[in-house]
Amino acid sequence: MPSNPTPRAVRSLLALCVAALLTAVLAACGGGSTDVPGGQDISSGSRRINLIAYATPKPGFDLVIPGFRSTPDGHDIGFSQSYGASGDQSRKVARGLPTDVVNLSVAPDITRLVKAGVVDENWEDEFPNKSVAFGSVVALVVREGNPKNIHTWDDLLRPGISVVTPNPGSSGSAKWNLLAPYAAASNGGQNPQAGLDYVRSLVRDHVRILPKSGREATTAFEQGQGDVLVTYENEALMLKRHNDTAPASQRVDYVIPAQTFRIDNPIAVVNTTHDRAAADSFVKYQFTPDAQRLWAKAGFRPVDPAIAAETAADFPGRIDRLWTVDDLGGWKKIDKDLFGKSGAVTEIYDEEAGK
């Protein structure tokens, strides 16, 4: 750190410390165990699955794991779980963290595991829908009543608007959050400079803190930081559902922009698993109608067309243009051009970190 840190750097450091402390306190208050979602013991069984996932889908797995354990295939399978920023989780698995199943935010975090030799190259072909069992779209969470009148991506660039979104260096959700306005501003990558100009203005003038994960970003917003939280739709739904019991300062509304981005979160079995049959059966269960309904209950969009139609009313909002990774040329191009070590978005964040 420079000997005379800028006011921006000091504010960011203090905000991150507060968010981290709050996250730790909340975890302690919740019992500190991921083995008892909703009071149900999920650790018992003669067989075991180690699930390593990014932070956001924990509420979904809290429903889906007990659902799986109620089936003949899953009744004697216990679980241990770890949740965190997607990039950090991927790096831990690459370094040898005991794992059977990974669910990460973006495909490049699985590609890292392929390069490390712990996930097979054909992982996308091993399960339906390119091994994406659920998804979401990018949403904007605002304070109750939407006092800043936020409706579009351009509204985030108005003077005085403070935006909370995680650090793309550690968080997969941060990448989705930035791809949505980038795609809208660049017309699906047709005018990349316009997209980068938007991202630069957003990061330079409106992003004040850089949480490590989507979950930490949500915690920071709940504690009063920022006017807008850019996040997954399921996080927005979760926060909105808590309005009845939340203090007035933590009540929210949310907006689905007319142009937004489809979020695909891949799941894979690692080839170092000690129980391939158990791991395979758990991942296959994610695509069953029962599990798809549970994912919808947790606020995630099902990938089964029939269940998506059945639960459509649970996901209000009109989307005129839903951009996808394929629209921008695929993850290999996106990572190289935007988020790699020399990517344009990485350079934007590096510039800001150097100020």
Four-residue CA torsion sign, 236, 303, 106, 63: positive
Predicted pLDDT of residue 171: 85
Q: What is the mean pLDDT of each run of 10 residues along the chain (355 residues)?
A: 46 44 36 51 92 94 97 96 94 97 96 97 97 97 97 98 94 94 98 98 95 90 95 94 91 97 97 97 98 97 97 93 97 95 95 80
Give me the phi and psi of 122, to 5 degrees please.
-90, 25
Is residue 64 within 8 A of residue 291, CB to CB? The reply is yes
Name the helix (H) or strand (E) containing 7. helix 7-29
> What is the C-alpha R_g of the chain?
20
List the beta bridge partners of residue 81: 51
Predicted pLDDT of residue 230: 97
Name the helix (H) or strand (E) containing 285. helix 276-285
Is residue 79 within 8 A of residue 48, CB to CB? The reply is yes
DSSP letter for each residue of 84-137: E-HHHHHHHHHTT---SEEE-SSHHHHHHHHHTTSS-TTGGGSSHHHHEEEEEE
The residues, any chain, with a CB within 8 Å of residue 82's CB and separated by 6 or more, are 34, 50, 51, 52, 53, 89, 92, 97
d(CA 207, CA 16): 13
Predicted pLDDT of residue 259: 97
Predicted pLDDT of residue 13: 46
Predicted pLDDT of residue 38: 57
Alpha-helical runs (H) found in 152-263: 172-186, 192-205, 214-222, 233-241
Taking alpha carbons only, the member of 219, 169, 220, 177 closest to residue 202 is: 177
Predicted pLDDT of residue 35: 57
